[in-house]
């Protein structure tokens, strides 16, 4: 299969930018980037719709979340503190959650940004972590912003979840063989 970038370079060399004389080629609207994903919750019925962030939303997230304080200490050893990591996560979730099918007290919950804030404040943290993980998968540029320590923490968390799951499966296998 030919490399797409090589193909684009060849086209740019052969033709004036902005015109295409090859039949069957449809020019893409790069201003219309919009993509979303439906993330089903553990009950298999409830879901949240997650938006893949475009460049403008990425800029907004970065502006709202990257609040770093750098302290210079005369000897060349500067210190850096990132403030409010919980706000970073909240900003990412509020930008990315764009719809849902949720119930509260047996009634459907309409989607509003105010109710997103209520949901994020009241929901099970492990559920919110799963939603955040899916958002990061949908937006690969977010993974490049993770530090090695954050990646190590994620690996540790996955290993712990694996151990719990293995114990559950071993318990189920033992109880079903009786």
pLDDT at 10 > cutoff 80: no
Q: What is the pLDDT of residues 118-137, one digit of tens each?
A: 999 999 999 999 999 999 88
CA distance 76 to 93: 37
Q: Give mean pLDDT, residues 38-54.
A: 93
Domains of the chain in sequence order: 34-165 (3.30.2220)
Closest CA to 123 of 68, 50, 46, 177: 46
Phi-psi region at 84: left, alpha or beta (left = phi > 0; alpha = psi -120 to 50):
left
């Amino acid at each position: 299969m030919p490399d797409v970038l090589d193909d684009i370079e060849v086209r740019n060399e052969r033709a004036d930018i902005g015109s295409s004389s090859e039949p069957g080629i449809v020019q893409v609207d790069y201003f219309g980037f919009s993509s979303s994903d439906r993330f089903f919750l553990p009950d298999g019925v409830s879901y949240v719709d997650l938006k893949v962030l475009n460049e403008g939303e990425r800029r907004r997230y970065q502006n709202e979340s990257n609040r770093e304080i750098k302290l210079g200490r005369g000897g060349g050893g500067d210190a850096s503190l990132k403030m409010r990591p919980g706000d970073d996560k909240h900003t990412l979730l509020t930008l990315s959650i764009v719809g849902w099918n949720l119930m509260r007290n047996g009634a459907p919950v309409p989607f509003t940004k105010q109710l997103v804030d209520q949901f994020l404040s009241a929901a099970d943290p492990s559920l919110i972590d799963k939603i955040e993980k899916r958002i990061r998968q949908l937006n690969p540029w977010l993974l490049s912003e993770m530090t090695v320590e954050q990646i190590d923490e994620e690996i540790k968390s996955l290993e712990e979840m694996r151990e719990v799951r293995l114990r559950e499966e071993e318990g189920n296998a033992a109880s079903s063989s009786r």
